[in-house]
C-alpha cells in the first residue's frame, strides 16, 4: 500500500502542523528530529512528511507528488492552481492589507499609483476589483521599505501584528482579506485513496473545531 504523503510548509506553519498531527494520533517523532532527512516517516500509520517552501507545497500537491499539503491561504491566492481546499486550519492567522505612509490617498490626482508587493496576483486582483489602475512592482522581501524610499506609493503585504508597519511609520489603508493555514488535497489522491484521506480530513476538522471552542 502506497503511503500517504503530506507536504508541510517550512517555518511558521511547521510547528502548528506538527502539533495538529500529533494530536490526531500521528507519530511525528521523525519530523521533530529530522536531522538531514528529507522524507520523514510514520511507519505505523503509513504516512510520509516532506518539508518544503510554501509555493512548492502547491506544486507538489498539484502534480500528485504529495497527496496532501499544509499551506497558507496567501500562497493559494497568489497561485492559481487546481486541488481541493478541504480544511481551514484557523491557525497562522493574519491579513492581506494595503499599507502606506499616513499621507497616502487612494484617489489623488491622475497619476498611476505604484504598488510594491511580494504578491502581484493578489495586488492586481484587489485593485482590479476596486477599479483602480495601478502599476505593480514585484519585490522579494522587506516590502515596507518601498514607500519609505519612494519606490512605490503603497504596498500590499501580509500583516500579522502590524508591529513592523508601525515601527516604520506605515499604516493600514485597507484590509483585503483574512488569511489562515489550509489543508489541500490532490484531486486524484482524494478519489483513489478516499478512505484514508477522508478519515484524516474528519479528524483534522474535529481538531480545528475543538480548538476553536477552547480559544473562544
Partner 1 sequence: MIKQSWRSEILNNWKRHIPEGSRDILFEDCSNKIKIINVLRELYINSGFLEVISPTLEFYDVFQGETIFIEQEKMYKLFDNEGRILVLRPDMTMPIARIVATKLKDSLYPMRICYSGNIFRKNENWNGKVSEMTQSGVEIIGSESTKADAEVIITAIQALLSIGVRKFQLEIGQADFFKGLIEDIELDFDEMEKLRGLVQNKNFGALREFIEERQDILGTKNVEALKKLPELFGGIEILDKARTLTKNKKAIAAIDTIEKIYERIKGVGLGEFISIDLGMVQHIDYYTGIIFRGYSSQIGTTIISGGRYDNLISKFGTSMPAVGFAIDVDNILSVLEKQGNNNEKVSEKYIIHYENHLIGSACKFASQIRSKGFVAELSLFEEKEKTLSYGEQKKIDKMICVLEDEKIQIIDIKTNKSWNENIEEFIKSLED
Choose between 75 and 152: whose C-beta lies nearer to partner 1. Answer: 75
Rounded CA gap, 148 and 157, in Å? 15
Contacting partner 1 within 31-60 (CB under 8 A): 59
Stretch that binds partner 1, among 49-57, 100-108, 141-149, 181-189 (CB under 8 A): 181-189
Residue 66 backbone class (left: φ over 0; alpha: ψ -120 to 50; beta: rest)? beta
For residue 67, the minimal CB distance to partner 1 (Å) is 8
Q: Binding to partner 1 by residue 87, rule CB under 8 A?
A: yes
**One residue of 23, 27, 30, 88 binding partner 1 per CB under 8 A:** 88
- Could you tell me which of 51, 60, 26, 68 has the C-alpha nearest to residue 203? 26
- Give me the helices (H) in the chain, please: 12-23, 29-32, 54-63, 73-78, 120-129, 145-148, 163-167, 187-192, 194-215
64 binds partner 1 (CB under 8 A): yes
Q: How far is the CB of 142 from partner 1 (least distance, A)?
A: 25
b/e map 106-117, b = 16+ CB within 10 Å: eeeeeeebbbbb
Adjacency order of strands within the sheet including 171-179: 134-138, 113-117, 154-159, 94-100, 171-179
63 contacts partner 1 (rule: CB under 8 A): yes
DSSP 216: -
Interface with partner 1, residue 65, by CB under 8 A: yes
Q: At closest approach, how far in Å is the CB of 207 from partner 1?
A: 12
Examine residue 93 and tell whether it contacts partner 1 (CB under 8 A). no
Q: Which of residues 164 and 180 has its CB atom nearest to partner 1 in the complex?
A: 180
Beta bridge partners of 51: 8
Give the residue with the Cβ less far from partner 1, 97 or 185: 185
Q: Which of 101, 205, 207, 211 binds partner 1 (CB under 8 A)?
A: 205
Applying CB under 8 A, the residues found at the interface with partner 1 are 2, 59, 61-65, 83-88, 185-194, 201, 205, 208
Amino acid at each position: 500500500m502506497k503511503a500517504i504523503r503530506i507536504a508541510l510548509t517550512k517555518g511558521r506553519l511547521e510547528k502548528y502542523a506538527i502539533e495538529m498531527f500529533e494530536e490526531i494520533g500521528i507519530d511525528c517523532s521523525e519530523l521533530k528530529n529530522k536531522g538531514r532527512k528529507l522524507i520523514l516517516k510514520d511507519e505505523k500509520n503509513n504516512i510520509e512528511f516532506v518539508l518544503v517552501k510554501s509555493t512548492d507545497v502547491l506544486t507538489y500537491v498539484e502534480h500528485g507528488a504529495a497527496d496532501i499539503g499544509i499551506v497558507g491561504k496567501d500562497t493559494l491566492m497568489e497561485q492559481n492552481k487546481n486541488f481541493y481546499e478541504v480544511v481551514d486550519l484557523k491557525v497562522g492567522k493574519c491579513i492581506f492589507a494595503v499599507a502606506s505612509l499616513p499621507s497616502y490617498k487612494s484617489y489623488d490626482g491622475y497619476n498611476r499609483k505604484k504598488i510594491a508587493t511580494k504578491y502581484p496576483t493578489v495586488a492586481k486582483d484587489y485593485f482590479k476589483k476596486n477599479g483602480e489602475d495601478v502599476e505593480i512592482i514585484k519585490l522579494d522581501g522587506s516590502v515596507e521599505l518601498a514607500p519609505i524610499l519612494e519606490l512605490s506609493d503603497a504596498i500590499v503585504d501580509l500583516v500579522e501584528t502590524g508591529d513592523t508597519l508601525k515601527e516604520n511609520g506605515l499604516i493600514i489603508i485597507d484590509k483585503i482579506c483574512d488569511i489562515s493555514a489550509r489543508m489541500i488535497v490532490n484531486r486524484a489522491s482524494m478519489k483513489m485513496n478516499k478512505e484514508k484521506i477522508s478519515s484524516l480530513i474528519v479528524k483534522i476538522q474535529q481538531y480545528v473545531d475543538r480548538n476553536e471552542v477552547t480559544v473562544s
